[in-house]
Amino acid sequence: MPEDTRTILICSGKGGVGKTTLTANLGIALANSGVTTAVLDADFGLRNLDLLLGLENRIIYTAQDVLDKNCRLDQALVRHKKEPNLALLPAGDPRMLDWMKPEDMKQISKLLSEKFDIVLVDCPAGVEDGFKNALSACKEAIVVTNPELSAVRDADRVIGILNTSDIKPIQLVINRVRPNMMANQEMLSIEDVQSILSLPLLGIVLEDEQVIISTNRGEPLTLSNTKSPAKKCYLNVSQRLTGKDIPIIDPKNEGKSLKDKFMRLMQTKIF
Amino acid sequence: MTLRDLINKLLGRQTSSANTARERLQLVLAHDRVDMSTLTTDLLDKMRKEILDVVAKYVEIDFEEVAVSLETEDRMTALVANLPIKRTLTGEIEFKKNYDTPKKK
């Protein structure tokens, strides 16, 4: 049923904060929990979602071809072999001549909503046309940011634009959190970022080398059996997104050693 | 202030960088957010004059002490006007009183 489909924009403003990685992992996690999920790569200039999902060799058509009636939607959708509930649709080809318009994106998201429960739209970086196209196709948004000045500033610009559209809810994911640096107060805290952007927190994702390793393999963490901090975080985000009341991981409780406990003591507010 | 900040201060060391980051971010965002709302200083001046005209119809204001400014907190920009009243037009108030009249933009 189209009305029930949740079309969620995954955006950040700044590039490289982890939009695509979140989209891939969230897509797999949602599909794995039984929700039919489509991931739409709206970043057709520099598309990467296919790489993270290990589907780069299986793309034949794009959404543009569907709109031009060169193929059916079924033919353009790339089903994930290990997770049949998940399908990828690249919006366009990097060599594409005509850029898409907001109406095109709306059309695609309408087609997808006839087949899927959740559509995740991986938005290009920036706040220009690519972002506005992707935005016009969505009902909800997840803003991804890092606990860094430039990422938070750009996220703020994006939230400003989202607030003037009728997108809601807008939720926040803080990515690449380093508990040790936060404990040493050498990194903006979760509370800092959240209070500055004043968005409901959907989750945090801990910095984790496994993310790079899984990207190398083209196999999202949520698909693998490895035990990793980031994987746990992605699964949490996925469950919270589907309405389950899972507490957000507190980076302060991540270290269990005596040194970590001492660091926590040093963070206590005295006045 | 946290325990760490206190120790840093006592030892004369730099404060932790997260604090610096927070302060810089708040400053730059205040700028960004006002820019986006296109409230220029010209407009603010015009608005200040009109607000004063209206208020001055009813009470006598201490024009020297008037302050009208934009303050941003929690993604919301507020217009904060501080208009000290000298007396009402009937002359009943002799003492100075501060009135904050925050208005949502």
Tell me: the pLDDT tens digits for A100-154?
Answer: 889 999 999 999 999 999 999 999 999 988 899 999 999 999 999 999 999 999 9
DSSP class of residue A4 equals G
Residues β-bridged to residue A119: A7, A38
ipTM: 0.72
Give pLDDT, residue B12: 76
Domain that holds residue B63: 39-105
Instruction: Write out the residues of chain A at the interface with chain B, using a CB-CB cutoff of 8 A.
Output: 148-149, 152-153, 156-157, 159-160, 163, 182, 184-189, 192, 195-198, 265-271
Closest chain B C-alpha to A196 CA, distance in angstroms = 6
Shared domain for B21 and B46, answered yes or no, is no
**Radius of gyration (C-alpha) of chain B in whole angstroms:** 20
Q: Which amino acid is at A241?
A: L
Tell me the fold of A2-267. Answer: Rossmann fold (3.40.50)
Instruction: Report how many domains make up chain B.
Output: 2
Residues A234-248 have pLDDT tens digits of: 999 999 999 999 998
Q: How far apart are CA A226 and CA A213, in angstroms?
A: 11
Same domain, B64 and B103: yes
Angstrom CA distances, A18 to A25, A108, A114, A205, B19, stand at 11, 24, 28, 10, 25
Of the candidates A254, A194, A201, A203, the one whose C-alpha atom is nearest the C-alpha of residue A229 is A254
What's the angle, vertex CA A73, arms to CA A72 and CA A79, rounded to 5?
Answer: 125
Instruction: Give pLDDT, residue B83.
Output: 86
Kindly list the residues from chain B whose CB atom is less than 8 angstroms away from the CB atom of residue A159.
75
Cα–Cα distance measured from residue A253 to residue A124, given in angstroms and rounded to the nearest whole number: 34
* B38 SS3 class: coil
Task: Indicate whether B53 and B70 sit together in one domain.
Answer: yes
Subunit contact B3:A149, Cβ cutoff 8 A: no
Residue A124 is encoded by which pair of tokens?
A: 């290009």
- Pair B71, B102 in one domain: yes
pLDDT score for A196: 92
Which residue in the block uniquely carries the two structure tokens 């003591």?
Answer: A265
Residue B29 shares a structural domain with residue B64: no
Q: Which residues of B touch A (CB under 8 A)?
A: 1-7, 16-19, 21-22, 24-26, 28-29, 32-33, 36, 74-75
Co-location of B50 and B101 in the same domain: yes
Residues B59 and B71 in one domain: yes
Same domain, B60 and B93: yes
Kind and range of the H or E element at B104? strand B103-104
Extents of the domains making up chain A: 2-267
Look at residues A250, A176, A173, A249 and name the one whose alpha carbon lies nearest to residue A207. A176
Residues B50 and B28 in one domain: no
Residue A226 scores a pLDDT above 90: no
At residue B15, φ and ψ (nearest 5 deg) are -70, 160
User: What average pLDDT is seen over chain B?
Assistant: 74
